[in-house]
C-alpha cells in the first residue's frame, strides 16, 4: 500500500507531461530552422545583417519577466494571493512589452530594406524570430487567462499545476529567445 502511495506521488501530472512533449516538439522545430539557417548561409546570395538594437532591450525585458514569474509563483505557494496577482500582472506586462519591442524591431528591419522576400537570409530571420514571438504571444494569452482567473470571485482554485506549467513555459520561451538571440548574433 505504501509503495502505491509513493508511486502516485512520483508521477508527473498528465498536463505537465503534455507540456513537456510540446516543448520537445518546439525544440525540434527550432533546431531544424537553425540548422537550415546554418546550411543556407553558405549560399552565394546570402546577405549578412545586424539585428536591431531594440532586440537587446527585449532580451532584458524577457529576462526580468522570468524573475517576476518566479516571484509570482513563490507568492502563490505562500497563498499570498494579493502579491501573486500583482507579480503575475507585472510578468504579463513584461511579456506584452517583449512582443511590442520585437514588433518595433521588425518595423525597423522593414524600413531598412530587410523585407521578407528580398533575400532568403531575411526570410529565415522573420520565420525564426516570428515563430518565437508567436510562442511568447501564446504564453501572454495563457497568462492573461491566469490573471483573469486570479481575480475571479467565483473561482477560488489553489491548484499549483497551472502555475507550475506557466512558469515552465515562460522560462522555456525565455531560454529559447536567449539561444536564438545568441545564435543570430554569432551566426549571421
Distance of CA 171 to the CA centre of its chain: 7
Residue 74 and residue 128 in contact, taking contact as beta carbons nearer than 8 Å: no
Measured distance CA(89)–CA(78) in Å, rounded = 17
What does the DSSP 8-state code read for residue 50? P
Query: How buried is 104 (Cβ within 10 angstroms: 0-12 exposed, 13-18 middle, 19+ buried)?
Result: middle
Q: SS3 for 116?
A: coil
Global pTM?
Answer: 0.87
Measured distance CA(37)–CA(35) in Å, rounded = 5
Q: SS3 for 13?
A: coil
Q: What is the pLDDT of residue 156?
A: 66
Grid coordinates in use for 185? 548574433
Which residue carries 500500500 as its cell?
1
Residue 55 and residue 181 in contact, taking contact as beta carbons nearer than 8 Å: yes
Q: Mention every residue, 6+ apart, whose C-beta is less than 8 A from residue 153.
A: none
Q: Which CATH architecture has domain 51-186?
A: Up-down Bundle (1.20)
Measured distance CA(167)–CA(139) in Å, rounded = 10
Q: What is the pLDDT of residue 157?
A: 67
The tens-digit pLDDT sequence of the chain (188 residues) is 555 555 566 788 899 999 999 999 999 999 999 999 999 888 888 888 888 999 999 999 999 999 999 999 999 999 999 999 999 999 999 999 999 999 999 999 888 888 777 788 888 888 999 999 999 999 999 999 999 988 887 766 678 899 999 999 999 999 999 999 999 888 76
Amino acid at each position: 500500500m505504501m509503495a502505491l502511495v509513493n508511486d502516485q506521488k512520483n508521477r508527473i501530472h498528465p498536463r505537465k507531461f503534455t507540456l513537456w512533449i510540446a516543448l520537445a516538439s518546439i525544440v525540434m522545430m527550432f533546431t531544424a530552422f537553425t540548422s537550415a539557417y546554418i546550411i543556407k548561409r553558405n549560399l552565394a546570395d546570402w546577405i549578412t545583417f545586424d539585428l536591431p538594437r531594440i532586440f537587446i532591450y527585449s532580451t532584458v525585458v524577457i529576462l526580468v519577466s522570468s524573475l517576476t514569474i518566479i516571484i509570482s509563483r513563490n507568492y502563490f505557494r505562500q497563498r499570498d494571493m494579493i502579491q501573486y496577482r500583482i507579480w503575475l500582472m507585472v510578468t504579463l506586462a513584461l511579456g506584452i512589452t517583449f512582443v511590442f519591442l520585437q514588433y518595433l524591431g521588425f518595423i525597423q528591419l522593414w524600413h531598412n530594406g530587410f523585407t521578407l522576400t528580398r533575400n532568403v537570409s531575411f526570410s529565415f530571420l522573420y520565420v525564426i524570430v516570428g515563430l518565437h514571438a508567436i510562442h511568447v504571444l501564446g504564453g501572454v494569452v495563457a497568462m492573461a487567462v491566469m490573471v483573469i482567473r486570479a481575480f475571479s470571485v467565483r473561482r477560488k482554485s489553489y491548484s499549483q499545476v497551472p502555475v507550475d506549467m506557466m512558469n515552465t513555459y515562460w522560462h522555456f520561451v525565455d531560454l529559447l529567445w536567449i539561444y536564438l538571440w545568441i545564435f543570430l548574433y554569432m551566426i549571421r
